[in-house]
């Protein structure tokens, strides 16, 4: 049987570049190379695209970018080409499907997805519009709230507003509050602010990651996650729970688990977990998600489900939350990769 040509794209011009390398390494180590013809496409921190032909471990330790293993490429916008062009030789390599394994801006926010749609190359995961919506914390909350699902109260600000005016706008919020960049992931630039004296510093930090920030109320509860796989018919993983010892689930806790624990399944009764799954699917549909995503919510002390965010390309190592939740309902890592590629080939953008 003819192999399916898969372009696995990693790296990226993003603060989450290093996380992408870890996810890509795990996918490349587990993808069925008897079934797929793999083309590794690395994007540098400067945003340049290269066809990489070296070892996977060089991706994971960030030594992949070198003259020996790389050829500069671009995606052809001519739909007849249906693939990539090697710059120095003008050789065209046709691609059956692309698999973006990137996190954060310029990879998870719809820009890369738009490029692939322009080239008419199928790809795994959410489409351009859905990816952009889910990355935008304010718009995604507005859409979900308008569909009668609870969200935290929040305010949107751009970098031209004074800190004094921000303080006036949010005076009805009760501390602690959260200050977040509008479009960043992995908790970069997020601060849990316990009192007004610490607000200035938190605002300045968030504005180093984005020209827009949101400030939202803290939710009295704990975070739960819901892994969803599918376009129309959905496989939903078991609900997990984040147990925190520190202020919130920041970058160090997400990737090094110094004091936090992921509890799977969540310590909630089956009926509550099913309600969380049902709400997760509703949010997935509202935001137009396809392929896969992890929907994060809060479960409050008064037993309410509150939307937090959607990760359209969640962490994807073999021990990450998304594959772990699906493993709990019978899907191993290789099967998840196969299903993602199958869904991407079937999807009509």
Split into its structural domains, the chain has a count of 3
How many angstroms separate the CA atoms of 299 and 288, rounded? 23
Percent of the chain with pLDDT over 90: 87
Yes or no: say if 196 and 175 are a contact pair by the CB < 8 Å rule: yes
286 phi and psi, to 5 degrees? -55, -40
What CATH number does the domain containing 78 carry? Answer: 3.40.50.20
Q: Which of the listed residues 196, 217, 238 is the one where a domain comes to its end?
A: 217
Q: How confident is the model over 100-120, as a mean pLDDT?
A: 94
Same domain? For 65 and 172 the reply is: no
Q: What is the mean pLDDT of the chain?
A: 93
Residue 269, domain member (yes or no): yes
Same domain? For 252 and 325 the reply is: yes
Residue 203, domain member (yes or no): yes
| pLDDT for position 259 | 57
| pLDDT for position 189 | 85
Q: How confident is the model over 312-327, as a mean pLDDT?
A: 93
For 97, the enclosing helix (H) or strand (E) is strand 97-100
Same domain? For 201 and 268 the reply is: no
With 80 as the cut, is the pLDDT of residue 219 above it?
yes
Q: How confident is the model over 327-336, as a mean pLDDT?
A: 96
Residue 32, domain member (yes or no): yes
DSSP assignment string, 243-300 = E-SSSS--HHHHHH-SS-EEESS-SS-HHHHHHHHHHHHHHHHHTT--SEEEEEEEEE
Same domain? For 27 and 64 the reply is: yes
With 50 as the cut, is the pLDDT of residue 249 above it?
no
Same domain? For 233 and 331 the reply is: yes
Q: How confident is the model over 88-108, as a mean pLDDT?
A: 95
Q: How confident is the model over 250-264, as a mean pLDDT?
A: 61
Same domain? For 15 and 43 the reply is: yes
Structural domain of residue 195, as residue ranges? 154-217
With 70 as the cut, is the pLDDT of residue 237 above it?
yes
Residue 91, domain member (yes or no): yes
Same domain? For 138 and 256 the reply is: yes
Same domain? For 141 and 273 the reply is: yes
With 60 as the cut, is the pLDDT of residue 55 above it?
yes
- pLDDT-derived band at 338 (thresholds 50, 70, 90) equals very high
| pLDDT for position 105 | 87
Q: Which of the listed residues 189, 217, 245 is the one where a domain comes to its end?
A: 217
pTM listed for this prediction: 0.91
Same domain? For 234 and 202 the reply is: no
How many angstroms separate the CA atoms of 216 and 214, rounded? 6
Same domain? For 206 and 140 the reply is: no
| pLDDT for position 82 | 94
Q: What is the pairing mode between strands 261-263 and 305-311?
A: unpaired
Query: Which residue in the block uniquely carries the two structure tokens 């945003």?
Result: 47
Residue 128, domain member (yes or no): no
| pLDDT for position 307 | 98
With 80 as the cut, is the pLDDT of residue 186 above it?
no
Q: Which of the listed residues 181, 200, 217 is the one where a domain comes to its end?
A: 217
- Of residues 179 and 187, more confidence is placed in 179
Comparing 42-56, 94-108, 258-272, the range with the smallest average pLDDT is 258-272
What CATH number does the domain containing 202 carry? Answer: 3.30.1490.20
What CATH number does the domain containing 262 carry? Answer: 3.30.470.20
How many angstroms separate the CA atoms of 114 and 131, rounded? 10
With 90 as the cut, is the pLDDT of residue 95 above it?
yes
Same domain? For 227 and 245 the reply is: yes
With 60 as the cut, is the pLDDT of residue 297 above it?
yes
């Amino acid at each position: 049987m003819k192999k399916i040509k898969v372009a696995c794209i990693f790296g990226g011009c993003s603060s989450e570049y290093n996380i992408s390398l870890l996810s890509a390494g795990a996918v490349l180590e587990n993808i069925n190379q008897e079934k797929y013809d793999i083309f590794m496409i690395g994007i540098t921190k400067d945003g340049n695209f290269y066809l990489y032909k070296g070892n996977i471990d060089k991706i994971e330790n960030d030594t992949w970018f070198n003259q020996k293993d790389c050829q500069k490429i671009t995606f052809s916008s001519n739909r007849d080409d249906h693939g990539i062009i090697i710059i120095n030789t003008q050789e065209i390599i046709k691609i059956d499907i692309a698999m973006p394994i990137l996190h954060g801006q310029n990879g998870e926010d719809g820009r890369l997805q738009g490029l692939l749609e322009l080239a008419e190359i199928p790809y795994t995961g959410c489409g351009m519009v859905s990816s952009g919506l889910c990355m935008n914390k304010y718009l995604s909350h507005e859409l979900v709230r308008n569909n009668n699902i609870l969200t935290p109260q929040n305010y949107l600000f751009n970098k031209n507003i004074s800190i004094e005016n921000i303080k006036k706008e949010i005076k009805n919020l009760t501390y602690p509050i959260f200050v977040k960049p509008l479009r960043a992931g992995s908790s970069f630039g997020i601060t849990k602010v316990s009192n007004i004296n610490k607000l200035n510093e938190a605002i300045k930090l968030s504005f180093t990651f984005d020209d827009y920030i949101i400030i939202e109320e803290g939710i009295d509860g704990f975070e739960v996650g819901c892994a969803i796989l599918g376009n129309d018919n959905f496989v939903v993983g078991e609900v997990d729970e984040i147990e925190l010892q520190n202020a919130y689930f920041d970058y160090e806790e997400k990737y090094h688990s110094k004091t936090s624990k992921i509890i799977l399944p969540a310590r909630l009764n089956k009926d509550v977990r099913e309600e969380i799954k049902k709400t997760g699917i509703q949010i997935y549909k509202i935001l137009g998600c396809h392929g896969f995503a992890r929907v994060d919510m809060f479960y409050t002390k008064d037993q309410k489900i509150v939307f937090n965010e959607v990760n359209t390309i969640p962490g994807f190592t073999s021990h990450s939350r998304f594959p772990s939740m699906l493993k709990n309902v019978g899907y191993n890592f290789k099967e998840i990769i196969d299903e993602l590629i199958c869904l991407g080939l079937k999807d009509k953008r």
